Amino acid sequence: MTKFQDLGLSENVLKGIVDQGFEEAFPIQEAVIPVLLSGRDVVGQAHTGSGKTAAFALSMLQQIKPKQGIQGLIMAPTRELAMQISDEIKKFGKHTGIRIATVYGGQGMGIQLDALHRGVEIVVATPGRLIDHLKRGSIELRDISHIVLDEADTMLDMGFVDDISFILDLAPEDRVMSLFSATMPTEILRLSEEYLKNPKQFLLDADDLSGEGIDQSYLVIKDRDKFKYLIDFIKPVKGQSIVFCSTKYRTRDVAKFLHQEKFNAVAIEGDMSQHRREQSMGKFRSGKADILVATDVASRGIDVPRVELVINYDVPNQEMAYFHRIGRTARAGALGRAITFVSYSSVGDWNLIKRQIKVPLTDLNQEMGIQISIPDPLKRQTPSRRYGGQSRSNYSRGGRSGGYGGSRGGNPRDDRGKRRTSDRDGNRNSYGGRSRW
C-alpha cells in the first residue's frame, strides 16, 4: 500500500494524518487524492468503510487557503453523515488553520449563523438546510473552488436531485468537483455527465457486494421470538452492537426492552429531536453505550471502529440497504459479524438479498437445531389486509405486542416502495415533482 507522504500532501495535512495513527492509504485514497490534487474531477465508487471521506477531505484541505472565505462545499444526505464528515475533516485538518461549519435541519439556525459569522472555509451541509442559508444570504458560493457530493445514490433516493441542481447552478463553473457513491445507478452517471468536467472514474469493487470480512448469518423465526434471540446474541458481545429496525416504532420498542433487560442501549430514529439524536450518537461513539438501535437513517452515518456485531432485527427492503447496514461492522479492514432475523413474512425479501451475497452464509436454524414451518401465504385468509383492516395473524394482532419484539399496534408496516420527497432533516424538497433524471 502507498504511504500518505508519497501522495503529494503538505506537511500540515500529513501531521493531521499521523495524529490519527494512519500511515498507508486505502485503495480509494491512493487512487483519488493525486487526481483531485491535479485539478481534475472525480467520480468515485467505494463501499462503506473504504476511506472515501479522507480521499476527498485530504485533497480539499491541501488546496484551500485559510481566512479567504468559503471555498469548499460538501453535501451529504443526512445530518448524521454530515456531522461525521465534519468531525473527520477537523481531525485531519487541525494543523492547517482551516475552519469547518456543519449546517443541517433540526439544529437551531442561530447556532449555524454564529459559526458562519466567525468565518469558515469549508461547509458540510444537507441540501435542504443549505438552500435555506443560500436564500438568507448567510452562505455564498461565489468563491467555491471545491465541491463534493457524498453518498450521491442516497441523495437520489431521498429526492434531492432538484435541490442539488439548484445549488450547483449557483456555484462557479471553475471548480474541482467530486461525486462519491456506494453504487452507480444510471441516474448518478447522468448527474456526473451534466455537472462534472471530464471526470476520472474510479469504480472500486463495483461488483463486490459480498460484505467480505464479515461473518454473515441468518435465523428464520417467528416475529414474536425475535427479542428472545436478540438477547441471546447480544449478551456475549464484548464490543459494541448495532440493531437495525425497519420502522421508528419498532426501534423505540426494541430500545425500551433492552433497557428493561439492563442493557446500556441508545436509539436513533426520525422523530427524535436533534439534541436527543446527538446525545445518543455521542454516547455510542464515546463507548458510554454498548448498543445502538436505529432505523436506516443512521446506516450511512455511523463510523465506530468498535462495532463487533450488527443485527438486522428486520430484513431491509432492498439489497443495498443490507450491505450498508452490515458495513457498520468490519470497519477499516477489521473483522465483524452480522446476523439477520428473518420473520416468516420476510422470507421472500431475504431470498432476494441472499442471491447477492457472495461469501459463505451461515444458516443458524441448521446450526442451532431450530425447526421452522413457514405457513403457505396462499392458504392464509387475508381479506382484511387488502381492505385496510387488522390482520388476524399473530404477527400484527390488533393493538398489542405479539411478544417482546412486537411494537405498538403489532408489527408496523414497512414503507416499501415509497419515494422520499423530503430530507430527513425535516426540510421539504422545494423542487418537488419529477426529476429531470
String of DSSP letters for 359-388 = S-EEEHHHHHT-------GGGS--HHHHTT
pLDDT of residue 258: 96
Average pLDDT of the chain, as a whole number? 81
| Comparison of pLDDT for 254 and 50, the residue scoring more | 254
List residues bridging with 164 in a β-sheet. Answer: none
Q: Is residue 90 part of a domain?
A: yes
**Separation in Å, CA 225 to CA 159, 238, 405:** 36, 24, 7
Rg (CA), the chain: 22
199 and 291 together in one domain: no
pLDDT of residue 49: 63
| Comparison of pLDDT for 390 and 162, the residue scoring more | 162
Q: Is residue 423 part of a domain?
A: no
pLDDT of residue 373: 77
Q: Is residue 231 part of a domain?
A: yes
pLDDT of residue 212: 63
- Number of domains, the chain: 2
Rounded-to-10 torsion of CA 49, 54, 56, 58: -170
Q: Is residue 409 part of a domain?
A: no
127 and 255 together in one domain: no
CATH (domain of 349): 3.40.50.300
**Which tens digit of pLDDT belongs to each residue from 25-84?**
888 899 999 999 999 999 987 665 678 899 999 999 999 999 999 999 999 998 888 998
- For the ranges 60-69, 144-153, 400-409, the lowest mean pLDDT is seen at 400-409
| Comparison of pLDDT for 48 and 355, the residue scoring more | 355
Mean pLDDT of 366-375: 84
Helix crossing, 27-37 with 52-63: angle to 10°?
30
CA atoms within 13 A on the CB side of 385: 12
List residues bridging with 362 in a β-sheet. Answer: 217
d(CA 340, CA 317): 13
Q: Which of 141, 169, 203 is the last residue of a domain?
A: 203
CA atoms within 13 A on the CB side of 187: 14
What are the grid coordinates assigned to 367, written together? 446450526
Q: Is residue 128 part of a domain?
A: yes
pLDDT of residue 28: 86
140 and 190 together in one domain: yes
Task: Return phi, psi of residue 317, to 5°.
Answer: -90, 5
**Which tens digit of pLDDT belongs to each residue from 307-352?**
889 999 999 877 777 887 887 776 555 678 999 999 999 998 899 8
148 and 195 together in one domain: yes
- For the ranges 151-155, 375-379, 410-414, 424-428, the lowest mean pLDDT is seen at 410-414
pLDDT of residue 371: 84
Banded model confidence at residue 384, pLDDT cuts 50, 70, 90: very low
195 and 218 together in one domain: no
**Separation in Å, CA 237 to CA 146, 158, 231, 242:** 42, 34, 10, 11
**Which tens digit of pLDDT belongs to each residue from 286-295?**
889 999 999 8
Indicate the DSSP class of residue 50. Answer: S
The angle formed by the CA atoms of residues 168, 430 and 277, to the nearest 5 degrees, is 90
Q: Is residue 176 part of a domain?
A: yes
- pLDDT at residue 129 is higher than 90: yes
73 and 141 together in one domain: yes
Q: Is residue 413 part of a domain?
A: no
Indicate the DSSP class of residue 428. Answer: B
- pLDDT at residue 406 is higher than 50: no
What are the grid coordinates assigned to 25, written together? 492509504
Alpha helices in 178-266 (DSSP H): 186-195, 226-234, 248-260
CA atoms within 13 A on the CB side of 73: 26
Banded model confidence at residue 365, pLDDT cuts 50, 70, 90: very high
Residue 298's H or E segment, with its range, is: none
- pLDDT at residue 421 is higher than 60: no
CA atoms within 13 A on the CB side of 364: 15
AA identity, residue 17: I
47 and 91 together in one domain: yes
The angle formed by the CA atoms of residues 151, 69 and 134, to the nearest 5 degrees, is 60
Q: Is 164 helix (H, G, I), strand (E, B) or coil?
A: helix
Mean pLDDT of 152-177: 91
- For the ranges 63-72, 169-178, 385-394, the lowest mean pLDDT is seen at 385-394
329 and 190 together in one domain: no
In contact, 51 and 28? CB cutoff 8 Å? yes
Q: Which of 142, 169, 203 is the last residue of a domain?
A: 203
Mean pLDDT of 200-205: 76
| Residues 18-22: contacts with CB under 8 Å, at least 24 apart | 19/91, 19/94, 19/95, 20/91, 20/92, 22/54
Mean pLDDT of 162-184: 91
* Size (the chain), residues: 437
Q: Is residue 219 part of a domain?
A: yes
Mean pLDDT of 206-227: 79
Domain extent, residue 52, equals: 4-203
312 and 378 together in one domain: yes
In contact, 58 and 33? CB cutoff 8 Å? yes
Q: Model pTM?
A: 0.60
269 and 313 together in one domain: yes
In the chain, what are the helix, strand and coil shares in percent, each to the nearest 5?
A: 40, 15, 45
d(CA 181, CA 203): 10
Share of the chain above pLDDT 90, in %: 50
The angle formed by the CA atoms of residues 39, 64 and 121, to the nearest 5 degrees, is 135
Sign of the four-CA dihedral 341, 344, 345, 347: positive
pLDDT of residue 378: 40
232 and 332 together in one domain: yes
Mean pLDDT of 7-20: 93
d(CA 34, CA 9): 9
AA identity, residue 28: I
374 and 261 together in one domain: yes
CA atoms within 13 A on the CB side of 424: 27
